[in-house]
Amino acid sequence: MEKTLILVKPDAVKRGLVGKILDRFEQSGLKIVAMKMIWVDKDMAGKHYTTNEEFLVGMGNKTLKTYAEYGKDPLEVMGTKDPLEIGKMVRQWNLEFLTSGPVVAVILEGIHAVTIVRKIVGATLPTFSEPGSIRGMYSIDSPVLANDRKRAVRNMIHASGTVEEAKLEIELWFHKREIYDYHRADEDVMF
Ligand code: GDP
């Protein structure tokens, strides 16, 4: 049994997709054990998006790879080829995005919840997310367009990447008293 955190990001909230998105998780057998709508400030968003340099370099390298694939010059668009600097820029865009409207924060519980949720959410970039995944179904945003406009890719959901990350993120977003333990009727049939 695992718990994991998802954030329905401001683009999905503003598009009225909260119900459809949560439905996907609930139907799979994952249980909502905590949920709230919250419009966070930059301070909170900054705690959510790590400043870990290794992570930022990784993010920068991913962005550089996208530029190479689409034949774009990162120097022209971003003003640098340094993966750390690019990673910091993408982080900044993420802070702006996450604070641009309310988000719905949810803790989902279930067997292998972290992995199952990432599968249902789909790959980070909508161009590569599987058609049946949430990102694949509801978004066609592209990193090339996003980088040109100096904003985060609008991919509707954040989901914890690992069990360790899930623990930290759950502690950041919820008090223990906001997390409930209850029995869902279909658990008897499914498990
Ligand atoms: P996730 O765990 O699947 O959300 O992916 P990451 O942790 O790698 O990235 C965090 C968020 O940054 C993503 O959900 C996107 O909104 C945004 N993002 C990721 N890669 C890029 C990129 O190359 N360009 C831009 N503009 N945004 C990106």
Asked if residue 158 has pLDDT above 90, the reply is yes
* pLDDT given for residue 39 in this prediction: 98
Q: Which atom of ligand 1 is nearest to the CA of 97?
A: 16
Across 132-141, average pLDDT: 95
* pLDDT given for residue 138 in this prediction: 95
In degrees and rounded to multiples of 5, residue 31 shows phi and psi of -105, 130
> Any alpha helices (H) in the chain, and if so which ranges?
10-14, 18-28, 42-48, 53-69, 74-78, 83-98, 113-121, 134-138, 143-148, 163-173, 187-190
* pLDDT given for residue 72 in this prediction: 85
Question: Within a 13 Å sphere around the CA of 108, how many CA atoms are in the beta-carbon half?
Answer: 31
Compute, in angstroms, the gap from residue 78 CA to the centroid of ligand 1: 16
Read off the pLDDT band of 87 (50, 70, 90): very high
Asked if residue 23 has pLDDT above 90, the reply is yes
- The β-bridge relationship of strands 157-159 and 2-8 is antiparallel
State whether residue 37 is helix, strand or coil. Answer: strand
In degrees and rounded to multiples of 5, residue 33 shows phi and psi of -115, -5
Asked if residue 99 has pLDDT above 90, the reply is yes
Among 124, 168, 169, residue to substitute to test ligand 1 (most atoms within 8 Å of Cβ):
124
Longest dimension (CA), the chain: 58
| pTM recorded for the entire structure | 0.95
Asked if residue 86 has pLDDT above 90, the reply is yes
Asked if residue 14 has pLDDT above 90, the reply is yes
Measure the CA–CA gap between 152 and 93, rounded to whole angstroms: 5
Asked if residue 16 has pLDDT above 90, the reply is yes
State whether residue 90 is helix, strand or coil. Answer: helix
Read off the pLDDT band of 43 (50, 70, 90): very high
Compute, in angstroms, the gap from residue 112 CA to the centroid of ligand 1: 23
Average pLDDT, the chain: 95
